[in-house]
């Protein structure tokens, strides 16, 4: 049996902890749901799935980082990482211009994982939680994010510190 033409992969709730590098061979994948799994990391090869539109990683409590080449997923429309323990976003998130759903954005200390990466994400809608704001360089970074231009955002949560152990300010449209 071959899965080369597979477009949907949903392993939500399964007791899996590892995704093999060979996932890159499923070039037609448009939808991956690994929510509520035990994965600790995603293989870098997932960044070569150019047709991928949905990447759902909700409540992956062991997941601490996203692949460094996420910026290559140019057709990604929905990224749900709510409930994971990711410490910062990978650099180049500003290249994901078609993102409509981004559940969480974790401001990093390094170059390329700052608030200004949100600037080009003009199609964002629904809810967005921005955490670890203490890592933002200055107020200019916040201005560059152009959050006011994101007309589809209905709810914005701002948090300082860990997204799970901080008080968040919630701003509703």
Domain limits of the chain? Answer: 8-172
The number of beta carbons lying within 10 Å of the beta carbon of residue 154 is 12
With a CB cutoff of 8 Å and minimum separation 6, the contacts of 133 are 107, 158, 159, 160
Distance, CA of 84 to CA of 75 (rounded, Å) = 22
Whether the Cβ atoms of residue 32 and residue 55 lie closer than 8 Å to each other:
yes
Residue of 149, 151, 107, 158 whose CA lies nearest to 128? 158
For the entire predicted model, the pTM comes to 0.89
Listed as ranges, residues in the chain with pLDDT below 50 are 165-168, 173
Tell me the pLDDT tens digit for each residue of 24-74: 999 999 999 999 999 999 999 999 999 999 999 999 999 999 999 999 999
How far, rounded to the nearest angstrom, does the alpha carbon of residue 113 sit from its chain's CA centroid?
12
pLDDT on residue 142: 78
CATH of domain 8-172: 3.80.10.10
Beta bridge partners of 130: 105, 158
Q: Could you give the strand order of the β-sheet that contains 78-80, starting from the edge strand earlier in sequence?
A: 8-10, 31-33, 54-56, 78-80, 101-102
pLDDT value for 172:
52
Q: What pLDDT does residue 33 have?
A: 99
Q: What is the pLDDT of residue 32?
A: 98
């Amino acid at each position: 049996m071959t899965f080369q033409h597979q477009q949907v992969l949903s392993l939500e709730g399964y007791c899996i902890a590892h995704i093999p590098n060979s996932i890159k061979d499923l070039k037609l994948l448009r939808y991956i749901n690994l929510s509520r799994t035990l994965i600790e990391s995603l293989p870098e090869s997932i960044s070569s799935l150019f047709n991928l539109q949905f990447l759902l990683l909700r409540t992956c409590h062991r997941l601490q980082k996203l692949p460094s080449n996420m910026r290559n997923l140019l057709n990604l429309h929905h990224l749900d990482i709510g409930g994971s323990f990711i410490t910062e976003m990978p650099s180049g998130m500003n290249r994901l211009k078609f993102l409509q759903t981004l559940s969480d954005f974790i401001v990093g200390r390094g170059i390329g994982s700052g608030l200004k990466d949100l600037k080009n994400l003009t199609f964002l809608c629904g809810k967005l939680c921005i955490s670890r704001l203490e890592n933002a360089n200055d107020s200019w970074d916040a201005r560059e994010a152009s959050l006011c231009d994101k007309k589809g955002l209905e709810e914005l949560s701002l948090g300082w510190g860990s997204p799970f152990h901080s008080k968040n300010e919630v701003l509703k449209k």
